[in-house]
Amino acid sequence: MSTPRSPAAVVASHTSDPQPPPGDGERFAAHGIMGLAFDSGHYLALRDMSATSIGPAYRAVWHRDQGGRWSIFTTVAPHLSCPRYFGAAAAHIEQVQSIAVQWTGDHTFEVRMGTRLDWVVSLGATVPTRMMSTMGRAMPAQAWRSEGLLGGMGPMAEATLRSGRIRLHGSTPNGQRFRAAPVQIWRVIGSRAVLDGADLGDPGPLDRQTHLADFWMPQRGIFFVGAFVTAATDPGIVAAVAARAAAEPGPAMDLSARPRGHG
């Protein structure tokens, strides 16, 4: 039996010659942290889109504060990145100069967003993540396009990973239909993050699981390598996101203590 490859090795292979997945719609070769909750009530997610069908590759950090307000930071124009789909659920969207990701070991990496974010992550494989990854690798590309099959995989992943509700297809806050294909996954087994001078605390579930429309954010940290696909975006949505981004530049918010949110 071959030795399972480390997440660093899988990401290196995934990004060596990245191509958007085949098919229709708006398509992304993707990896990152699906989501990670902290016991302080903060929440972070990382999207590393190494190839897209709509524009340049980019990285994005999503942050939910203790009051339940989302911010999305992206390295390219917001209308060509995550706010194109999730901006309606975010209190703030912002293009930043850089989001750097450096692998410091086979299972560890650091995320830095200028001087504003310093985020260290450790990953590990568990019996459930190995099982889901084995199944994901065995599935043909056509299977990942089936909403019926994805609809069945969500509850299976919920029961196996014990990370709360998981949906692999549905609608984004901006209205596009999406399909997520986390072909390989690992558990986040350790993390520390400081954002705008605030230590976000230890990983720990929120009091109530949060979601952005049909996209549910896991209660336990998950790292994924795979793809993301949406239906074509209405030009009016693209224009609205671009106009909003131009109107609200600059740092998002003060991260000093606030009452914990639940949504």
Helix (H, G, I), strand (E, B) or coil at 176: coil
Separation between Cα atoms, residue 104 and residue 96, nearest integer Å: 23
| 6-64 tens-digit pLDDT | 999 999 999 998 988 888 999 999 999 999 999 999 999 999 999 999 999 999 999 99
| 57-82 tens-digit pLDDT | 999 999 999 999 999 999 999 999 99
Instruction: Using DSSP bridges, classify how beta strands 26-37 and 222-230 pair: parallel, antiparallel or unpaired.
Output: antiparallel
Separation between Cα atoms, residue 227 and residue 231, nearest integer Å: 14
pLDDT averaged over every residue in the chain:
91
pTM over 0.85: yes
| 193-231 tens-digit pLDDT | 999 999 999 999 999 999 999 999 999 999 999 999 999
